[in-house]
Structure 1
Amino acid sequence: MSYIIKPPKLLLRRVGRAIADYTMINAGDRILLGLSGGKDSLSLLQILAHLQRYGPIPFELSALTVDPQIPGFDPSPLKSYLADLGIQYFYETQAIMDEAQKHLQGKSFCAYCARMKRGIMYRIAREQDYNVLALAQHLDDLAESFLMSALYSGRLQTMKANYTNNTGDVRVIRPLVYVRERQTLEFAKTAQLPVIVDNCPACFTAPTQRTHVKALLANEEDLHKDVFQNLLHAMRPLMVK
């Protein structure tokens, strides 16, 4: 029995187009996927595993989970899932919340946690000789980041689709940049992917700017169905290095 599930055609088409548009995957790439256990990263895991098996470009695929040891969040069940998929898996633990309480001094825990996780992912990629780090942010994430940057920082920027990190040794790709969040949600439900519920108290104690912008975008999309495609058109120059 294969645990690799064929994603819907529309999902594959949008990922395939993004990979081609931004030259995300080259022959011989060793790709390390940042796997949080959420619907987006689990969907991307299945998509990349399918493309590795049936796509025209040969590449290697492994996954990495960083367990921040936060109460209410336990991604350890992913270990058996990745074993069933037959995909090499790295599992790193670090007490990020404990460290944050010592060093934050009023700054955002979410930003600190993301920065710490990214540093761990870069380290594992280097140690294990992976040249590409795949992340699972989707079009909704890019649109939210774009509006947050414009509204609250006065800058026009969003996440890049494909770029090389500052030290020049790891390339970061986001194959879901054309995919809507509702697509990964539907795929995760239909395929019964083992989504790990994130109950981080630091993320849910108060509304955030991102929560507000997400609601704003949802309201605008109810009124104007092309909002996200228009935003994608506006963001394209910002998605390349």
Structure 2
Amino acid sequence: GRKGGGGGGDGWVEPDKKLSNKVFRAVLQHGMLRPGDRVLVGLSGGKDSLCMLHVLRALQKRTPFQWDLGACTVDPKADGFDPSPLVPYLEGLGIPYFYEAHNLMALAEPCMAKEGNRVSICSFCSRMKRGVLYATARREGYNVLAMAQHLDDLAESFFMSALHNGALRSMKTHYLIDAADLRVIRPLAYVREAEAEAFAESNHLPVVSETCPACFEAPKERYRVKCLLATQEALFPALFQSLLKTILPLTEPLVEDVVRLRREAYGRAAGPPHVPPPMPPPREGALAEMEAAARKAHEPAGVYDARALWR
């Protein structure tokens, strides 16, 4: 249900220039924001999502076009995890806020049993929370969902995909979901986890402790990759600068995603939302062709060139 949105908005924190510039650069380079967008922040209550909320608010005040900002928290009703203290905090910030309580943990066991326990409970809960965020965005009229994954998350996903799936992949920074009615953006793509943590701590943000027992049942592969990267960074301090250059091409949409994003943009400009037909899967061996087409598609194209919107 909906809660919040009636306060005076006095609790906002102004981020420092370095943090703001990283988010601004990611938003600009990946075309994350457009005039008239209604952006819903996925607010878990962790340091990353709280940091993103404040930085996006600061960015909103400086953007040369109008867009709206709201936030949504999904409470999965897990033992040891209570995000309800966010409700009074968001009321004080004065933006639209939606607190969605759903007993996802009760759904987890029977659904996982159907899948033969091929997924972890954390993975299942994450997928279900994403579904609730999508549903809330649609119900409340938001067309963009902002997620708080940062550069460390992108790097860890890259290594996990390479080591365990045999594919060079990472999280996309900006894409249109399969239903073609919502865009997902990751404004913290250039921000380090330590920067988000320092921002939250120094400004005493109400970070919700992540103490769900399911999250600590066994060592997780992501944690092992995090330790591996920390060891390498101690030896090579510029590691993440190099990794960002390596990962950036993988975060760009493939050619079919570019076409879908452009169709969605033109459809919104024309009036009623336009749902494009599904793109066929790429042919075997066509990767070089697709990369060339994607690069061409990202060349400036009038009003939908992201850089032109900010002049």
TM-score strictly above 0.5:
yes
Supply the AA of the counterpart residue of 2:151: L
Task: Percent identity, please.
Answer: 51
Alignment partner, residue 71 of structure 1? 79
1:192-231 mapped onto 2 (5 Å cutoff): 192-231=204-243
Alignment partner, residue 65 of structure 2? 57
1:132 aligns with 2:144: yes
Counterpart-to-counterpart distance in 2, 1:19 and 1:135:
13
1:38 aligns with 2:38: no
Partner of 1:87, secondary structure, is coil
1:17 corresponds, among 25, 30, 38, to 25
Alignment partner, residue 261 of structure 2? none
1:85 corresponds, among 78, 93, 100, to 93
1:164 aligns with 2:176: yes
- Is the deviation greater in 35-44 or in 57-66? 57-66
Counterpart-to-counterpart distance in 1, 2:130 and 2:76:
12
Residue 155 of structure 1 and its aligned partner are, at CA, apart by: 1.0
Supply the AA of the counterpart residue of 2:160: M
1:177 aligns with 2:189: yes
Residue 51 of structure 1 and its aligned partner are, at CA, apart by: 1.5
Partner of 1:56, secondary structure, is coil
Counterpart-to-counterpart distance in 2, 1:112 and 1:209:
16
Counterpart-to-counterpart distance in 1, 2:46 and 2:132:
18
Alignment partner, residue 141 of structure 1? 153
Residue 54 of structure 1 and its aligned partner are, at CA, apart by: 3.2
Counterpart-to-counterpart distance in 2, 1:204 and 1:221:
25
TM-score (norm 1): 0.98
- Alignment check: 8 A CA contact 1:25 1:57 kept: no
Counterpart-to-counterpart distance in 1, 2:105 and 2:239:
37
Supply the AA of the counterpart residue of 1:78: L
Counterpart-to-counterpart distance in 2, 1:154 and 1:84:
47
Counterpart-to-counterpart distance in 2, 1:113 and 1:2:
33
RMSD: 1.0
- Aligned residues, how many? 241
Alignment partner, residue 303 of structure 2? none
Please list the CA deviations of residues 18-77 of structure 1 after superposition, one character each: whole Å capped at 9, or x if unmatched: 000001011111000000000000000101111122333321000000000001100011
Partner of 2:190, secondary structure, is coil
Task: Report which structure shows greater RCO (CA 8 Å, sep ≥6).
Answer: 1
Partner of 1:111, secondary structure, is helix
- Alignment check: 8 A CA contact 1:61 1:87 kept: yes
Supply the AA of the counterpart residue of 1:201: P
Partner of 2:100, secondary structure, is strand
Which stretches in structure 2 are left out of the alignment for 5+ residues?
1-8, 254-311
Counterpart-to-counterpart distance in 1, 2:106 and 2:221:
24
TM-score (norm 2): 0.76
Partner of 1:79, secondary structure, is helix
- Alignment check: 8 A CA contact 1:31 1:132 kept: yes
Residue 226 of structure 1 and its aligned partner are, at CA, apart by: 1.5
1:234 corresponds, among 246, 250, 253, to 246
